[in-house]
Amino acid sequence: MGASGDVRLGPASLGGLLIAVTYIAGMRAVYKAGRDGLDPEDEAKPAGSARKAWIGFGIAALVVIVAARYLTASAESIAALTGISASFIGVLLVSLVTTLPEGSVTVTAAMRKSYGIVVGNVYGSCAFKVFILSIADPFYTKGPLSAAMGEEHFAAAAGAFGLMGLGYFIMRSFVSPPLAWVRTLTPAIPVIYVGALYLVFILGQR
């Protein structure tokens, strides 16, 4: 939709609506698959207070929301003072900082052997970040948000979806013998990431 210029539909756009519908349908499928594969005998008994858990979650979320405003302003200042494109700053610095909480959660979950949370957090976070485009779309008054994409944004998107796809096939290879060869591509993950960053930097400086 970004390549085609997208179509404005009231406060939203066709691309934004497609993203929202796809995300909601995907989350529903994930929920259903998780419930269907759940064995009541293997389900751990919850411990602690649900109210306390929700309060802790709410406080953590509030801190992130408040910090977001200052993070955005600081990132814009860095881009202006260094002459580096805002797109590259967003892809590298902003995404790195905003992903640190997810990284710590993922590592902690792995240490606790909560592998469902590990994979769910990584892929759920990526999916939700794409869904955010549909939320931000109505606040962009110059037209469809996806229509504002530049070459560097397409490079970043291609790299992100490429890495997500490769990760999926690597995990799938452990339950599908014909895909076992895909595991040999694991070392390519950091190479693809750095290559995509470099491409975003070059395109953004044009």
pLDDT tens readout for residues 83-95: 888 888 888 778 8
Q: In this predicted structure, what is the pLDDT of residue 78?
A: 85
pLDDT at 164 over 80: yes
For 5-52, what is each residue's pLDDT tens digit? 888 888 889 999 999 999 999 999 988 887 765 555 555 566 667 888
Domain ranges (residues) in the chain = 8-38+83-204
User: What was the pLDDT predicted at 35?
Assistant: 74
Torsion of CA 142, 143, 145, 151, to 10 degrees: -80
* Mean pLDDT in residue range 172-179: 90
Predicted local confidence at residue 149, as pLDDT: 86
Quote the pLDDT of residue 24: 95
Q: How far is the C-alpha of 11 from the C-alpha of 105, rounded, in Å?
A: 35
**Mean pLDDT computed over 68-80:** 83
DSSP H helices, 3-49, are 14-36
Give which of 16, 15, 36, 18 is closest to 26, Cα–Cα: 18
The answer, as to whether pTM is greater than 0.85, is no
Residue 108 pLDDT greater than 90, yes or no: no
Mean pLDDT of the chain: 85
The pLDDT value recorded for residue 44 is: 56
Residue 199 pLDDT > 80, yes or no? yes
In the predicted structure, residue 188 carries a pLDDT above the cut 90: yes
What's the pLDDT at 101?
76
Q: In this model, does residue 96 exceed pLDDT 90?
A: no
Return the amino acid letter for 106. Answer: T
For residues 70 and 66, give the distance between their C-alpha atoms in angstroms, rounded to a whole number.
8
Q: What is the pLDDT of residue 36?
A: 66
